[in-house]
Structure 1
Amino acid sequence: MGDLQCAARILVARHGAADYESELLSDAGGWLSPAGRLQSRDLADQLAGERIARVWTSDMSRAVQTGEIVAARLDVDVIVRTGLREFGVGDAAGTTGDPDPFAATFAAWLDGDLTARIPGGESGLEVVARYEAVLDEVADAHRGESVLVVSHGGVMCLVLPLLARNLAPDHTRELPLPNCGLVALEVDDDGWVARSWAGRALG
């Protein structure tokens, strides 16, 4: 990360509610439902006073569509990064997801074991590395500015508490993010700090 004497304000939002071609697990992007489109417009209204310089999104279509709706209302452009996508489903692709095939691995991640791996998919270390790399890129590009990043609930709940020095690694164990839930972060030379989580102010 470059010199960040001027703090960057990074607002990370989960995408809006989505529909999918199949009820079976996959890494397909889905698309926003009517409710998700309304949530995205509400998110844009919520951010109207933030002077957002740009929107960055995951390459998964539900995130891109959320970002495009917000960007259009705020009159800014959109940049897409694969590193912001949700963790992959691995060997669970094509299954119903019941029982939750990710529960044990995700719990291990929150307990600090980032070597744990989604069977056939990513380890926690791999998820954190590719996600953090994009957030560092965003911060470097927007020193002294505010920016919106549109991403996904699972990867946000894993990575953001590990970045923010004022959060415990398992901060999200009982705090899942709703669709279009927003996390406000600031980053400067001293590192990352979370200012709010899904509407809850943080010290």
Structure 2
Amino acid sequence: MRLLLIRHGQTPSNLKHLLDTAVPGPALTPLGQQQAAALPEALAAEEIGALYASTLIRTQLTAAPLAERTGLEVRVRDGIRELSAGDLEMRGDDQAIETYLTTAFAWSAGDTTRRMPGGENGVEALGRFDAVVAEAAGTGAETVALVSHGAAIRTWVAARAANVDVAFAAAHELRNTGVVILSGAPDEGWRLLSWEGRSVGAEDSGPADSGPAGASVEDGLPDQ
């Protein structure tokens, strides 16, 4: 299966560098709306057979233009929502962001019993994302798109893709409407094919200036 993991468009909390992870969350900024509107053209070559979004409003708004283009129903699932910030919710200070990311990438490295302060642990976070991916694989679609969140995508890819590690995910931000493409299956494992349009293994020319669907804000590492 070809798995497209898409980060949502820009939100007001991205502009403020906040750990905004609670449901329902904010809507998109005008730029975020433009990014979402550009996704169908950016992904025109993909034959998407199933489309998912998280329970946070920003992913559903991002998925809507794709749903209109493909004629697919957006399947809303809690499992691919952002990693819960717990006690760090709505903070944007360096200490909170460092704690959030350190905890998330510890899960990717195998320390899944570690718990986000006041929030979930890695077993819970990775398990719920796994469940949606397994459901998507069960649809029989050759290509599936999941509109999710930056930290959730980076953490899951680092934990599940055989050809990249935590260092890769930590070094590569995922910008608004950035797309990560993997190939594989839940029972066979996953390989990362490309990250924001760059093939994995190709010489890295540095961070991209934008996601594939338009300019993005420099919004810090958490990527909610």
Q: TM-score, normalised by structure 1?
A: 0.86
Contact 1:48 1:74 in 2 (8 A): no
Offset at residue 199 of structure 1 (A): 1.2
Contact 2:107 2:159 in 1 (8 A): no
Aligned pairs, how many? Answer: 193
1:175 equivalent in alignment to 2:172: yes
**Which deviates further from its counterpart, 175-184 or 41-50?**
41-50
- Letter aligned with residue 156 of structure 2: V
- Letter aligned with residue 12 of structure 2: D
Deviation readout 1:112-138 (Å, 9 max, x if unpaired): 422221110011221111111111110
| 3-state SS of paired residue (2:75) | strand
| 3-state SS of paired residue (1:171) | helix
Distance 1:57 1:155 in 2: 13
Distance 1:142 1:182 in 2: 21
Match of 1:185 in 2: 182
- Letter aligned with residue 126 of structure 1: E
Match of 1:3 in 2: none
Offset at residue 110 of structure 1 (A): 4.7
Match of 1:10 in 2: 3
* Structure 2, unaligned runs of 5 or more: 202-224
1:60 equivalent in alignment to 2:56: yes
Contact 1:165 1:191 in 2 (8 A): yes
Distance 2:10 2:111 in 1: 30
CA RMSD of aligned residues (A): 2.1
Distance 1:104 1:166 in 2: 21
**Which deviates further from its counterpart, 96-105 or 151-160?**
96-105
Offset at residue 57 of structure 1 (A): 0.6
Percent of pairs identical after alignment? 37
| 3-state SS of paired residue (2:167) | coil
Q: TM-score, normalised by structure 2?
A: 0.78
